[in-house]
Amino acid sequence: MKKMPKRYVGRNILKVDAQEKVTGKAIYPDDIYFDDMLYLKIKRATHPHAYLRRIDINKAQKVPGVVKVITAADIPEVRNFGLIIKDQPVLIGIGQKMRYMGDALAIIIAENKEAASQAVNLIEVEVEELEIISDPLRAMEKDAPLIHKDSNILATHYLEKGDIKKGFAQADVVVENEYKTSFLDQVPLQVEAGVGIYDEESEVIKLWAATQWLHDTQADIAQSLGFPKEKIRIIQPVIGGAFGKKEDISVHIHLALAAMETKRPVKLTYTREESMIAQSKRHPLIIRMKTGVTKKGYLTACQVEVIGDTGAYASSGLAVVHKGMYHCTGPYNVDNVKGVAYTVYTNNTYCGAMRGFGATQMAFAYESHMDILAQQLGFDPVQFRMQNAYGIGSSTPNRQILTRSVGVKETIKEAAYLAGWKGER
């Protein structure tokens, strides 16, 4: 059925913020200035896995221009934060553990950036080093030291549809491979940055710092500081890209603490290096995939094991790794599916959300696999995909029956046509 044409929906109207952005008028967080503004710098962990035994801020505090250095000792009441579980400390205190190189040890507040940068290098730290667990397979071993209180395996998710044994028994060809993906940075052009002000009269902390979810970031800051939600006001500046990286708390709580401490406007802007080391990554996944197919080219079984290195803190990891597993067959009919997905803590930079959320990594596995299977069977890759692709009534690995809007076959047909897949290029 052809729908009525619309006046504005389906039209290429100019982006509403295009003019502001191309003329340089858009205000990104680092463009915000106040008179009397102070600058922050964060002292980061000195070892990926170690107890903090001593922190000496004396020399840092004596740097001309330094107003204050905040350590965990100053904020005993502040609680951990985190997107799904609250496992990430705001500042690491004496006797507590640093778990990756991005952990914060102290907040330096200074009249200018130079003083803050100089002071951060003068903070002296003594640590008791622990085994660094950089490999998720090592983290899963029974004798591996625990990174948090409980198991290094943060979560195990399962998938079971049909009868996997029967599925492989029906197969004429079975292909099994291991695929690996890498740590990726989302690389938004704009690094983490923000400005904070504490209004003494209303006791409201005002923050101009990007977030992909205003009210969730507000809630996480509020619970961490022990404030009512309405005491935390976030005003969204223009956001210079996110791709998942701006779901997690970054500058927000540190800005709030410094603003309350000094009663002056404060600004914190990460360096690119800091952004890469301290903020979330795309999960590197190890995907072991075994797929069965009949001689006639129909998929009968798909079995996957997924190991996701979620780094030092949970972030979105509890949702990412198994979402990858749930997409293990791609858009193809497979009656028998079995899977297990492990989300594993290590001492690497923590992993969280990035465009595709586990499903991106999984597609590398299942679509490589589809070509390998097609080749072994002597099928054309387009034909092989077409005959296995979903239609209305198909069921996903979660056994969700697709009842509407299943245009996958049309996309394959159209793409093959556009590229001139059959015949001469």
Q: Which of residues 355-414 bind another protein (CB under 8 A)?
A: 355-357, 359-360, 363-364, 366-368, 371-372, 381-382, 385, 389-390, 396-402, 404-408, 410-412, 414
How far apart are CB 354 and another protein at their closest, in Å? 9
How far apart are CB 64 and another protein at their closest, in Å? 29
- The Cβ of residue 368 has, within 10 Å, a number of other Cβ atoms equal to 15
Question: Closest by alpha carbon to 162, among 405, 401, 415, 397?
Answer: 397
Q: Which residues are bridge partners to 209 per DSSP?
A: 194
Is the separation of the CB atoms in 339 and 321 below 8 Å?
no
Q: Which H/E stretch holds residue 366?
A: helix 359-377
- Cα 340 to Cα 160: distance, rounded to the nearest angstrom: 9
Interaction with another protein in 285-324: which residues (CB under 8 A)? 319, 322-323
Tokens of 113: 């950036």
Is the separation of the CB atoms in 246 and 210 below 8 Å?
yes
Q: Is 141 in the site for another protein (CB under 8 A)?
A: no
Instruction: Label residue 386 exposed, middle or buried (CB < 10 Å: 0-12, 13-18, 19+).
Output: middle
Pick the closer one to another protein by CB: 110 or 181: 181
Q: Which residues are bridge partners to 121 per DSSP?
A: none
Interaction with another protein in 179-198: which residues (CB under 8 A)? 179-185, 187-188
Pick the closer one to another protein by CB: 13 or 36: 13
Q: Is 253 in the site for another protein (CB under 8 A)?
A: no
Q: Which H/E stretch holds residue 185?
A: none
Q: Which of 29, 48, 89, 308 binds another protein (CB under 8 A)?
A: 48
Length of the chain measured in residues: 425
Pick the closer one to another protein by CB: 80 or 134: 134
Q: Which H/E stretch holds residue 323?
A: helix 317-326
Tokens of 253: 């709580």
Of 34-42, 43-51, 69-77, 166-174: span binding another protein (CB under 8 A): 43-51
How far apart are CB 18 and another protein at their closest, in Å? 8
Is the separation of the CB atoms in 339 and 358 below 8 Å?
no
Interaction with another protein in 1-30: which residues (CB under 8 A)? 3, 6-17
Q: Which x/- pattern, by CB under 8 A, does the window 63-102 give for another protein?
A: -------------------------------------xx-
Q: Is 339 in the site for another protein (CB under 8 A)?
A: yes
Of 108-116, 137-145, 175-183, 256-264: span binding another protein (CB under 8 A): 175-183
Interaction with another protein in 218-237: which residues (CB under 8 A)? 218, 229-230, 232-236
Tokens of 218: 């507000």
